Structure 1
Amino acid sequence: MDRAEKKALVASLNRVFSETGVVVITRNHGLTVAQVTALRGKMREAGAGYKVAKNKLARIALEGTPYTAISDMLVGPTALATSSDPVAAAKAAVDFAKTNEKLEIVGGAMGDTVLDANGIKQLASLPSLDELRGKIVGLLNAPATKLVQIVQAPAGQLARVMGAYAAKDAA
């Protein structure tokens, strides 16, 4: 990798760090190409990115971003998972690590907050942004549905009583 490619990589990583909601640092101990490809696929499905970068270049790219404090975690064979949704990258990494012991969660950060491996696992246990939106829509929709049921109940009962009288008179 020549100097121009390194500068382009650092600029790209810096842009990603400036726009992302969470950074998860993982350590790869002997993952095969197929396993890394599967992990990248899971990350893409979750709306996250997964990048293996040289630690020195990643440290340079972290400068000037809210994630400067995690540069100490960049030791050994590491990779960076990022996403704008604070839960997506953490959830995808933790789910993959449950099925593959060769992937270790080192830590990460969510904005200025530095998280250790347990913090990332707790972050992964939270519902995603889409799940939270669905719950809010459900909560907003529930009172309207109940109101309609309450308003329609007397009319329905009246119709059933009239129907019963009509059936009684016909019999």
Structure 2
Amino acid sequence: VLTEYRGLDVASTAELRRALTNAGGEYKVYKNTLVRIAARDLGLELDDLLTGPTAIAFVTGDAVSVAKALQDFAKTNPALVVKGGLLGEQVIDEAGVKALADLEPREVLLAKLAGLMAAPMQQMANLLEALPRNFAYGLKALIDQGGAPGAPADAPAAAEDEAPAADAEAEAPAPEAEADAPAEDTPAEAPAAAADTDTDQAEESADTEKES
């Protein structure tokens, strides 16, 4: 981050260096000519930012923390002017540095990113864990439903088996009744035969009397 330190005394500059060190930065004063040459060697154009005495806050840790430390210091020390900076290979202006300072620290952003990435994974893990559990509960319910009612379901089958047996027993006496029927007919035929015999004897007696 490129700044203009004009108006800062030695004590204020030392205080700024301590704040930037705690934020993971390093604050150094350079001549604009040297900075311009180095920037051109890297293919960067920083001429618009190299006005007035320039000090550069290098970032050794979190860029957001360094930008935030500069912004907080500038609130109480208006002599410090943030001119712009270099984010990666992109040149940013004062508004870009301010936007960077308004971001949450790197650790917080990483924690949130990890949380966003972990949430779907946790949901998937919960789903995969719930599938066997739900399957087990469903299987148990099916077993309970199929096991308990199974016994009454067998009862009608037993009743159906008993019904033919009862019918068989009911039909069994029928042959005996049919067998008894001829026995009842035999005495009825016997008187008929006796009647025929008496008739023949009567006719013979009549013929004998006529001959006499």
TM-score by length of 1: 0.62
* Structure 1 residue 132 corresponds to structure 2 residue 116: no
* 2:13 alignment counterpart: 36
* 2:51 alignment counterpart: 75
Q: RMSD over aligned Cα, in angstroms? A: 2.7
- Structure number with the bigger relative contact order (C-alpha 8 A, sep ≥ 6) is 1
Rounded Cα–Cα distance in structure 1 between residues aligned with 2:67 and 2:23: 10
* 1:116 alignment counterpart: 93
Rounded Cα–Cα distance in structure 2 between residues aligned with 1:77 and 1:135: 39
Give unmatched runs, 5+ long, in structure 1.
1-23, 152-171
Give unmatched runs, 5+ long, in structure 2.
131-212
Structure having the larger proportion of residues in helix: 2
- Aligned ranges for residues 80-159 of structure 1 at < 5 Å? 80-84=56-60, 85-139=62-116, 144=122
Look up the equivalent residue of 2:59 and give its one-letter code: S
Q: 1:132–1:102: structure 2 CA closer, same or farther, 3 Å change rule?
A: same
Q: Deviations over 1:102-147 (max 9, x none)?
A: 10111122123222211211111012221112223444566759x5
Rounded Cα–Cα distance in structure 2 between residues aligned with 1:133 and 1:94: 22
TM-score by length of 2: 0.51
Structure having the larger proportion of residues in strand: 1
Look up the equivalent residue of 1:38 and give its one-letter code: E
Cα displacement (A) at 1:43? 0.8
Look up the equivalent residue of 2:38 and give its one-letter code: A
Rounded Cα–Cα distance in structure 1 between residues aligned with 2:22 and 2:47: 27
